[in-house]
Amino acid sequence: GRVTLMNLNNTRYAGSEIVIFNRPTRVDSEQMVPLFRQLAAMNDINVVLNGPVRTMNRTRTEKEQLIESEWANELERGSIYMAHSNWLDFESFGFKKPIYISLVKDPIDRMITDFYKRRSWVKRAIYRRMYPGRRERPDEWYQQSFNECVRSRSPECLFVQHAVADPIQDFKRQSLYFCGNEADCL
């Protein structure tokens, strides 16, 4: 069905006592981890980081959605499951609806955060470790400002509204975290 504001606040309709925190990228969701761990210690509940589907694709296949839904459905009652994952329609796979919580960030601030995070020395060091000897991007790419990127109309800094395919497969589309993996969520 269609996603409405009433459907997004599904706590009163939850059929299971599992909490899903789907951690949209670049919304500072890592700040929630200590809070959830403290709540878990105080209330004897589990905090589960990451599930069975680890993918960098911006949408998940139906099979991946089923695997994750089945896995999350088997978590201990009262668990908090945290993973970078789009909204999953548990009911479409025959499971009870969990309690969803999430965060949003101003879309422009989110893009700027992502832009600079990809250019950070930490990301560069990770790339060097993962791909030793592979040619890196030029220094100019790392030194470019977000404003320069926008002015040059680089595909990395463009957001094409209503586009089904983006020139760069990244995580600009925050809507997927709240709508799901279907094309009409793009």
Rg for the chain, CA atoms, rounded: 18
Q: Which of 3-7, 145-149, 176-180 has the highest mean pLDDT?
A: 145-149
d(CA 15, CA 99): 8
d(CA 92, CA 62): 11
| Higher pLDDT pick, 24 / 98 | 98
* Residue 27: both structure tokens together: 């919304």
SS3 of residue 140 by DSSP: helix
Q: Residues 158, 94: contact at Cβ < 8 Å?
A: no
pLDDT band for position 155 (50/70/90)? confident
pLDDT band for position 152 (50/70/90)? very high
pLDDT tens string 167-176: 666 666 788 8
pLDDT(125) > 80: yes
12, 39, 74, 120 from 16: Cα distances, Å: 11, 19, 10, 40
Q: Which amino acid is at 184?
A: D
Mean residue pLDDT of the chain comes to 87
Structural domain spans, the chain? 5-104, 107-177
- Predicted pLDDT at 153: 92
- Predicted pLDDT at 167: 65
Average pLDDT value for residue range 97-105: 90
d(CA 68, CA 90): 9
SS3 of residue 47 by DSSP: strand
Average pLDDT value for residue range 111-139: 91
Q: Residues 60, 66: contact at Cβ < 8 Å?
A: no
- Predicted model pTM: 0.78
pLDDT(180) > 90: no
d(CA 131, CA 164): 31
Average pLDDT value for residue range 153-163: 80
